[in-house]
Amino acid sequence: METKIERRLLIVDDDKPFLERLARAMESRGFSVTTAESVSEGLAQVAAMSPDYAVVDMRLGDGNGIEVISALKERRPEARAVVLTGYGNIATAVTAVKLGAVDYLAKPADADDVYAALTAGPGQKAEPPEKPMSADRVRWEHIQRVYELCGRNVSETARRLNMHRRTLQRILAKRAPR
């Protein structure tokens, strides 16, 4: 008689529609999924269930998702964790990997990319995505992030980005590149 191994997955993300879509997609791939929408909920789930896998958004309303990765690795060193973020930078990627994340994916991440990162063998990296974000999209995401952090103040955002205010206004008026 064959016994089915339960693969418990914790997904922590404050973007509810994305969280629900990813949870459904991962359940269809054989995971037993638990979700959380904040660092505090994620930490509580790590303590309660010690998941085998975790997918954690870097930036959450009540803190940094790296706290959840760190707690998971302390409790369960063999657990595999993937960090998701809409605002990627090298420093946070290095921190996430040092704390035990097996991969670092930019949002919006495809469920296939998340699955590949979670299930890659030891020492293996997942295949690069078929359609990664374009350089224009990465630039646009960065500008949007700084704009939000500056309280949607165009002048302050332009100053911090070392960009002319009118140029920034034109960029903000356009749709996001693909």
pLDDT for the residue 139: 84
The answer to whether 84 and 56 are in contact (CB under 8 A) is yes
| Residue 13, both tokens | 């993300």
Q: Which of 47, 105, 98, 103 is closest to 76 using CA atoms?
A: 47
**What's the Cα-to-Cα distance from 36 to each of 2, 14, 41, 77, 125, rounded to whole Å?**
32, 8, 5, 21, 26
Q: What is d(CA 62, CA 81) in angstroms, rounded to the nearest whole number?
A: 20
pLDDT class of 128 with cuts at 50, 70, 90: low
- Predicted confidence at residue 25, as pLDDT, reads 93
Q: Nearest to residue 116, comparing CAs of 106, 103, 98?
A: 103
Predicted local confidence at residue 122, as pLDDT: 63
Of the listed ranges 18-22, 65-69, 101-105, 159-163, the one predicted with least confidence: 101-105
Second CATH level (architecture) for the domain 135-173: Orthogonal Bundle (1.10)
Cα gap 158→143, rounded to integer Å? 9
| Domain spans, the chain | 7-119, 135-173
What is the rounded average pLDDT of the residues 147-173? 91
Q: Please indicate whether residue 85 or residue 33 has the higher confidence score (pLDDT).
A: 33
The pLDDT confidence band at residue 47, using thresholds 50, 70 and 90, is very high
Average pLDDT for residues 153-162, to the nearest whole number? 94
Give the closest residue to 102 by CA, choosing from 75, 58, 69, 60.
69
Does the domain made of 7-119 have the CATH classification 3.40.50.2300? yes
